[in-house]
Amino acid sequence: MGNLPRSADYTIQGFIYQFHKTLVEILNDDSDSMISIEGIIEDIEIATGRTTTAIQCKYHEEEQNFTLSNVYKPILQMMEHCYDNPDMKIEYKLYAHFPNETVGSNFEVNETHIQTIFRSRDQRFQRTITKLNGQIEITGFLERFSLEFGASLQALIERIMNLMEENGLSKDEIDTLFYPNAIQKIAELSILHEAPLRVIRKSTLIYDLQQIKKTAITRWTRSLLTLDKILVSRRKQLKVNLDKNSRLRYLFLSEETINSFNDGIVNFISDFINKYHFKEVHDKTPLFCLDCSPEVFKEIRVRLHKKNIKYNDGLVTDEYFDKNKFQSGPVRGKIGNQFFSDFQVRLLRFNGSVSEVLNEIKCDDFFLFTGITPELDFQDVNIEHINLSEFNQIKFVMGMADIYD
């Protein structure tokens, strides 16, 4: 598979690498310890007995060889925490990946290296250097500090797969279900504001993963090297209900989330109708709710008309929405062998006032193609949250296309 996708910037790469290292630590923990994600001290904190191991991850795929200057910042951060908390029993570990360094080997940081860091003229570090230079007991810190050269992302992925199997997860579903959902779980915990909420045990993670039946597709899992397999798996999961003829479907698509939204939305609606709403047995009219500007919504309506796609938007004028008009119909019938309907889709622009309409008549399946879940009543509804940013990928997982670029 190789490196992270080129589109992922270094910040995203760093988080992805950290999430993988965190997952390895959790799955490899035989003591079922309390493991903090984005802890108070460092990226990963493992509390065992009276000692806490604080691990900070650094991913330097773009830097072939290690140089001390690459890690000035994390070393200074750890030293400052050690200085501010002299009574805490903390083992500080810097886990840094450089492609040309031997995985698992350690770089022995000594007092000379620390003095070199203290002589740095980088303005970002001057406050900390001033605070620590001549004040911290360097030998004491170094006794509790280690710098280990970390594995590549690919190696971490392979380790995760093996550990998941060792921990009783079905091998056939690891790469397409358990692995992406585990990464998403780590990502979700990492952004919680309260530190106690960012704590998990291995037993809890394994149990939670065993309860999940849908593959998470989010900004984080889209960045995984197994994305192709994830999309194929999600397509198979969605196919079960998409193959059913009589099923009320709502689709929520966001201009903010989907690239080239305005260019692709009309063809997407057309393709959906041609796949899932063209037979007489397709008796429940799909609803498309578009989270876009009023101007874009007006343009989309004109383009749908020009494409001969009949829609019910419930609008008497652009300002007046008639709920009864929106919820009525359609009139359906046959002339000879030809089936007809006076409209093929319901069309809404998302705003506060349309929530009532979406909540009042519950659908069978609610497809959410957006980063943030809208505030709606999803009780008794099958939610399919698919955070993809490209229409070709959305069409693929929805079974509307056999390939994607």
Q: Is 294 helix (H, G, I), strand (E, B) or coil?
A: helix
Whether residue 199 is found in the same domain as residue 326:
no
pLDDT > 70 in the chain, percent: 98
How many domains is the chain built from?
2
pLDDT surpassing 50 at residue 1: no
Whether residue 190 is found in the same domain as residue 271:
no
| Angle formed at CA 175 by CA 169 and CA 179, multiple of 5 degrees | 70
Residue pair 8/19 in contact by the 8 Å Cβ criterion:
no
Residue pair 215/177 in contact by the 8 Å Cβ criterion:
yes
pLDDT digits (tens, 9 = 90+) for 360-402: 999 999 999 999 999 999 999 999 999 999 999 999 999 999 9
**What is the average pLDDT across 169-175?**
96
Whether residue 257 is found in the same domain as residue 193:
no
Average pLDDT along the chain = 93
Residue whose C-alpha is closest to residue 26's, from 223, 193, 187, 206: 206
Q: What b/e readout covers 1-25, taking b as 16+ CB neighbours within 10 angstroms?
A: eeebeeebeeebbbbbbbbbbbbbb
pLDDT band at 10 (very low <50, low <70, confident <90, very high): low
Whether residue 256 is found in the same domain as residue 382:
yes
Task: State the residue range of the domain holding 371.
Answer: 244-397
- pTM score: 0.87
Whether residue 94 is found in the same domain as residue 179:
yes
pLDDT surpassing 90 at residue 270: yes
Residue whose C-alpha is closest to residue 114's, from 87, 89, 135, 86: 135
pLDDT digits (tens, 9 = 90+) for 210-225: 999 999 999 999 989 8
Domain closes at, from 156, 187, 211? 211
350 domain-assigned: yes
pLDDT band at 272 (very low <50, low <70, confident <90, very high): very high
